[in-house]
Structure 1
Amino acid sequence: MGEPPTPAVPKGGQEQVKSIYQPQKPDQDQDQRESVSQSYASGQAPYEDRHGPYQPHEPGYGLYQPGFSPYDDQIPEPESRLLAVQNAKAYLLKSSTTSGLNLYDHLANILTKILDEKPTNAVDIIENISKDVKWAQFQKKMDTLRDEHEILPTYEAAEKCKALFLKGNGEEEEELEEETEDTPLPNVMETAFYFEQAGIGLSKDESYHIFLALKNLISVQPIQTCRFWGKILGLEMNYIIAEVQCQEGEEEEEAEEEEVIEEEEKEMGEIEDEDEETEKEDKPPQSTYKPPPVIPKEENGTGANKYVYFVCNEPGTPWVKLPPVTPAQIVCARKIKKFFTGRLDAPVVSFPPFPGNEANYLRAQIARISAGTHISPIGFYQFPEEEEEEEEEEGGRGTYEENPDFQPLSVAELVDSLSTWVHHTQSILQQGRCVWLNPFKKSEEEEEAEEDEEEEKEEEPEAPQQEIGPPLLTPLSEDEGIQNIPAWTAQASTNLIPQHAVAILQSNRWPGAYAFASGRKFGNIYFGWGHKYSPENHTPALPLPVQAEYPGGPEITETRDPTLEEELAFKASKAASDAAEEEDGEDAEEEEDEEEDND
């Protein structure tokens, strides 16, 4: 067999190949490499060794290629290169806004871990190594004596809701028959389902948690009726509100306790007045101004205090009972607009100053919202037949009952006309009460005492005119609008399936108040900030005008101090006048004596 043919070598190429593969000195190698690089850069290299710019489908695409860059002939200065390196390092040292780490340290830790462990195929598992390095940064250092476990917010929320799902000692043994009996616990999930048809309400989980929280409230408090009133939003925490009616005995006990407290306060005030009278016999002149009489609050179970309200910040936290509302708090709440913080003991800083803390302000807003937004289909409630006429004369009928012969209206009728809906909560008068009270009316004992006294008395102020508000079960069509905006907006939950739609009403005066009606079922709920809508910006009330000064006169007007010369002249004139008076007196006495002698 013959020898294999030798490859054809171009002219001059054989010597170049030999020179490359022959052993040479280090200086010759350096010169050879520089000459080759220069030949590549100048484009004088052999055609077989040269390569044009890589295409996107070629593996060398994106790499730097000498001779094909427009900046190859521009060699940067050392200072600019150093600045570029510093900028690049500063970019790598930039910390992340989420984790707080930087890429420079992360890459250094990855390379250190790879060089220490030297795993096989490190390039294939570099992503896992990066995750391990990150995870090691976030692991909390544990003490050798005690492990510090981090409590996550989700874990805290789960612990609060855990108590809602625990049963009592005797609940497991109860039979179904006892559960089917009449219970004040409302069906929150059913009401949430109807409001959900219009996209209103909370999530199913939160609604169910509120359902369980109301169950715990009923098991602890003596409650006759209960209802989920709504949710008022706050800056720090929110308020979940339950509207209840306590049993009759409990209301009487609460009223007695409040009366005892008021009597004690009056006794203390009387004792202080007696002490002041004994200590200060000669008092300076006192002002004759008499403040307007304090309007008493309505009794529990009537008017604005018809219901009792319990609040909590989250389902699972303890329920807190709100105090009864007073007319002064309602009147002041109409003049201010404050956001709730979520803390019942927070002060309410406003002008005019609010008489109470955030718990009282929350109770006043609940009363106002309930009076203006609690509605029902017409005919669902009716007045009792055996109601006395005296109640009508005093302030209108204040009680109603459910109509057993109620015939539900269709959704189209409930949506087309607002006259098919009525208010079933008494409106609050400007006085701050639902039933007007004459503050200057005196009891029989006071009238008898006044008859025994003298007839000469100061003129009493004129009695204010009696306020009359809209009666109960007034149709919504009589509500006043807000400029060009109607007071209510009615719509069906869906137009695609009208036979299964639900009538939804939305209050434009109190944004966040809604009502639904479907057959014999209806409901009211509120989700909002607790503020009334006003077309203009809220402007606080201005302070009262400055009190006028005391009327001036020569007796009280301060005069200029006299000079020394004026004082001396005044004394001289006064001495002369005194001397003249004495002489006149002596002459008169002498004349009297002479007349007596002649007689």
Structure 2
Amino acid sequence: MDPADGNQDRSEQRLQSAASFKSFMMKTSTDSNLNLYDHFTRLLLKVMDEHPHNVVDVIEIMSHDVKRGLFKDKQNTLRDLPHTTAAELLAEQQRLLFSRPEEADQEEELIETPLPNVCEIGFYLEQVGVGLGREELQRVFLALKQLVESQALLRCRLWGKILGTESSYIIAEAEYREGEEEESQSTEEGAEEEEREAETQENEMDLLPQSTYKPPPAVPKEDLGTGANKYVYYVCKEPGLPWVKLPSVSPAQITVARQIRKFFTGRLDTPVVSYPPFPGNEANYLRAQIARISAGTQVSPQGFFQAGEEEGDEEDEAPRDSYEVNPDFEGVPVVEMAESLSTWVHHVQHILQQGRCTWVNLSVKPGEDSNEEGEAEEKEEEPDEPEPEVGPLLLTPLSQDAEMFNTLPWTSKVSSTLTPQHAVALLRSNLWPGAYAYACGKKFENIYVGWGLKYAGEGYSPPVPPPPQKQYQSGPEITECLDPSVEEEQVLKEALEEQQAAQEEMEDSDEEEEEDD
């Protein structure tokens, strides 16, 4: 056999084996949808382009990079996209609290601010073991500063924090400004006019008989700047979030709030489902609870405030609503304030059972004049005239507060007995858990941190609904009875005829006697 023929056969066999091996290398994988031939091609191109050092040591890594580069788009669809958490969003909003506007000058910042020294208040609250903590209190202080600048408030202070099931409320107390009353009255008058127009339209369209029942007159709301509406309150969920102004409170809301117990959810527009029905949503319920807590727990050292000049000589009239700082106040010793409740006084008016701080006579119509009232009294005095309700006067000592459920209304102590010269007097309310007050020299402050509920004793049982009213009173005139028989009707008819005949004889005899006379 010729050697040339053998070499030719072997070359053909190699070509056939190479072709079959190439087809094997180009076989597509069922998992990755790739083939070895294309992978080697890309790998060699990568080596030729990069010329790595010690390529034999990194060939496996380069092979892995080639595969990963092919699956990059598919891996992006499976990879979790980064999303911003609620904490990051809140931090981004709170970052604005620490930013200083470029236009602000140092001279403007040195002007007296309507905000108190929150850092100093936080220091004293730490001494007595209450408060919100340094970090949160600093953020709250910056949020209050932002509120004062945006609303141009005359005075603002941290009232406290009411906890909720979903989120909490940070509450700021601001002084009433002139002009706010006109806006609220205009909106209320507009709503009343709309209600009247709707009623007239219904009466014109509906010709059915109307009920003659007239509900009792509603207790009028106190004007802004007086009574329970003396201050304006703003709330926010977290420092940095927008502040929301709470509406003014009405006596009906305070009256119902005293009869129910509801936890706050943290959403102002949430309806309050309760019995008795509450006239409003959670914003109104929050405002009612703030008014109740302020009236019962806002206290100050005796002598710090004094009665206003306008009402100094009128102690026999309605409770005083105005007071001013006593410039001659020198402070009360801390030990004395911790031992005696008579050294503390209420500087917020007491809320009467009527739901107002000042009693109003509902029997007198607001349109009647004093002359007409005097003439009516001369003609006839009504025996059911209601007696005016009188509450404790302003600046009444805490020693006159009554106990409830065999529990003292207040608990007082000293922050430290080891260093009494630097101690702080603490006062804690037992009827409103979460209400605290401290005093040190000429400085004092009130704060509330709690759930916004009053102490109800060992157990609370909701009021039972009243029994349903009867449609009419039962009596013989309307009580259903059995029909009489024929014999009973005949007997009754004869009895009526005899009665009528006897009556006619009596009349005839009377006429004869008159004729004889």
TM-score interval for Structure 1 and Structure 2 normalised by the shorter chain: 0.7 to 0.9
The answer to whether the Cα contact below 8 Å between 2:219 and 2:362 also exists between their aligned partners in 1 is: yes
Matched, 1:411 2:347: no
2:386 is aligned with 1:464:
yes
Contact 2:300 2:444 in 1 (8 A): yes
Residue of 279, 290, 295 corresponding to 1:366: 290
User: Residue 168 of structure 1 aligns with which residue?
Assistant: 101
1:189 aligns with 2:119: yes
Q: Give the match for residue 316 of structure 1.
A: 240
Question: Residue in 1 aligned with 2:31?
Answer: none
| Pairing 1:192-341 to 2, within 5 Å after superposition | 192-248=122-178, 252=179, 254-275=180-201, 283=209, 286-287=211-212, 289-341=213-265
Q: Is the 8 A contact 1:378 1:420 kept in 2?
A: yes
Q: Which residue of 2 aligns with 1:517?
A: 439
Gaps of 5+ in 2: 1-56, 58-73, 490-517
Deviations 1:25-77 (A, max 9, x none): xxxxxxxxxxxxxxxxxxxxxxxxxxxxxxxxxxxxxxxxxxxxxxxxxxxxx
Q: Given residue 455 of structure 2, which amino acid in structure 1 is its aligned partner? A: Y
C-alpha separation between the residues in 1 aligned to 2:81 and 2:206?
67
- Separation in structure 2 between the aligned mates of residue 332 and residue 415 of structure 1, nearest angstrom: 35
Residue aligning to 2:110: 180
**Residues 426 and 471, structure 1, Cα contact 8 Å, conserved in 2:** yes
Task: Find the counterpart in structure 2 of residue 128 from structure 1.
Answer: none
State the shift of 1:200 in Å.
Answer: 0.9
Residue 274 of structure 2 is matched in structure 1 by 350
Compared CA separation, residues 319 and 487, structure 1 to 2 (3 A):
same
CA deviation after TM superposition for structure 1 residue 541, in Å = 1.7
Report the more deviating stretch, 473-482 or 554-563.
Answer: 554-563
Q: Deviations over 1:193-223 (max 9, x none)?
A: 1010121111211111001100100110021
Once residues 373 and 401 of structure 2 are traced to their aligned partners in structure 1, the CA distance between those partners, rounded to angstroms, is: 45
Task: Check whether the contact 1:241–1:312 (CA below 8 A) recurs between aligned residues.
Answer: yes
Partners of 1:443 and 1:188 in 2: CA distance: 45
Counterpart in the other structure of 1:437: 360
TM-score (normalizing by structure 1): 0.64
Query: 1:504 aligns to what?
Result: 426
Q: CA deviation at 1:481?
A: 2.0
What's the CA shift for 1:269? 4.2
CA distance in 2: counterparts of 1:282 and 1:338, whole angstroms: 40
Return 416-425 or 539-548, whichever deviates more: 539-548
Distance 2:117 2:348 in 1: 22
Which residue number in structure 2 is paired with residue 380 of structure 1?
304
The TM-score, its normalising length taken from structure 2, stands at 0.73
Q: Which residue of 2 aligns with 1:586?
A: none
Q: 1:413 offset after TM fit, Å?
A: 1.1
Over 3 Å counting, the alpha-carbon distance change for 1:460 and 1:350 in structure 2 is farther
Q: CA deviation at 1:188?
A: 1.2
Judging changes above 3 Å, is the alpha-carbon distance between structure 1 residues 178 and 451 closer, same or farther for their aligned structure 2 residues?
closer
Match of 1:257, SS? helix
Deviates more, 1:265-274 or 1:487-496: 265-274
2:40 corresponds to: none
Q: Does 1:420 align with 2:420?
A: no
Q: Which secondary structure state, in structure 2, belongs to the residue aligned with residue 223 of structure 1?
A: coil
* Alpha-carbon spacing, 1:316–1:547, altered in 2? closer, same or farther (3 Å): same
Q: CA deviation at 1:327?
A: 0.4
**SS of aligned partner of 1:148:** coil
RMSD: 3.2
Which has the higher relative contact order, 1 or 2, with Cα contacts under 8 A spaced 6 or more apart? 2
The 2-side partners of 1:551 and 1:485 are apart by: 45
Code of the aligned partner of 2:451: W
State the Cα deviation string for residues 374-410 of structure 1 (Å, max 9, x = none). 1111111111344365x54441221110001101111
One-letter identity of the residue aligned with 2:239: P
Percent of aligned pairs with the same amino acid: 55
**Distance in 1 between residues matched to 2:124 and 2:75, nearest whole Å:** 52
**Contact 2:318 2:390 (8 Å CA) reproduced:** yes
TM-aligned CA deviation for residue 143 of structure 1: 2.4
CA distance in 1, matches of 2:301, 2:157: 18
3-state SS, counterpart of residue 96 of structure 2: helix
Distance 1:374 1:519 in 2: 18
Conserved in 2, the CA contact under 8 Å of 1:337 and 1:538? no
State whether structure 2 residue 83 is matched by structure 1 residue 150: yes
**How far apart are the structure 2 equivalents of 1:142 and 1:411?**
69
Displacement of 1:266 after TM fit? 3.7
Structure 1 residue corresponding to 2:318, chosen from 362, 371, 395:
395
* Bigger Rg over Cα: 1
The one-letter amino acid paired with 1:333 is A
- Paired residues in the alignment total 415
C-alpha contact 2:319 2:349 (8 A) present in aligned 1: no
Mapped pair 1:482 → 2:415: no
Asked if 2 retains the 8 angstrom alpha-carbon contact of 1:514 and 1:526, the reply is yes
SS of corresponding position for 2:413: strand
* CA distance, structure 2, for counterparts of residue 216 and residue 415 of structure 1: 36
8 Å CA contact 1:240, 1:314 repeated in 2: yes
Distance 2:337 2:75 in 1: 65
Preserved contact between residue 163 and residue 451 of structure 2 (Cα < 8 Å): yes
Residue 280 of structure 1 and its aligned partner are, at CA, apart by 6.1
Taking the aligned partners of 1:416 and 1:536, their CA distance within structure 2 comes to 27
